[in-house]
């Protein structure tokens, strides 16, 4: 993965965290809603793991935002 791709994933993770915290949702609650482990949410937010488009769609729905909002950087 190139450094440009890594930067995109990092920014997506930061946006997930920003919107999650703005909604007052814990990593645990978000993980329950999208049916993944709470550890995975933390890994995604800190860019320790890549996230699939399918999971991004689930996350955006759970946070009640548009998918494009996660790419607003």
**pLDDT band (50, 70, 90) for residue 1:** confident
pLDDT, residue 49, reads 87
Global confidence as pTM? 0.92
Residue 71 covered by a domain: no
SS3 content of the chain, % helix, strand, coil (to 5): 70, 0, 30
- What CATH number does residue 38 fall under? 1.10.260.40
Q: What is the pLDDT of residues 12-41, one digit of tens each?
A: 999 999 999 999 999 999 999 999 998 999
The number of folded domains in the chain is 1
Residue 70 covered by a domain: no
Q: What is the pLDDT of residues 44-66, one digit of tens each?
A: 999 988 899 999 999 999 999 99
Residue 37 covered by a domain: yes
Residue 22 covered by a domain: yes
- Is residue 49 packed enough to be buried (19+ CB in 10 Å), middle (13-18) or exposed (0-12)? middle
Residue 72 covered by a domain: no
Element (H, E) at 21: helix 3-22
Residue 69 covered by a domain: no
Percent of the chain with pLDDT over 90: 88
């Amino acid at each position: 993965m190139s450094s440009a791709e890594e930067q995109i994933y990092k920014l997506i993770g930061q946006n997930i965290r920003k919107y999650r915290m703005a909604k007052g949702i814990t990593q645990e609650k978000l993980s329950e809603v999208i049916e993944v482990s709470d550890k995975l949410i933390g890994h995604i937010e800190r860019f320790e793991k890549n996230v699939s488009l399918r999971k991004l769609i689930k996350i955006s729905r759970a946070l009640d935002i548009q998918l494009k909002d996660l790419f607003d950087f």
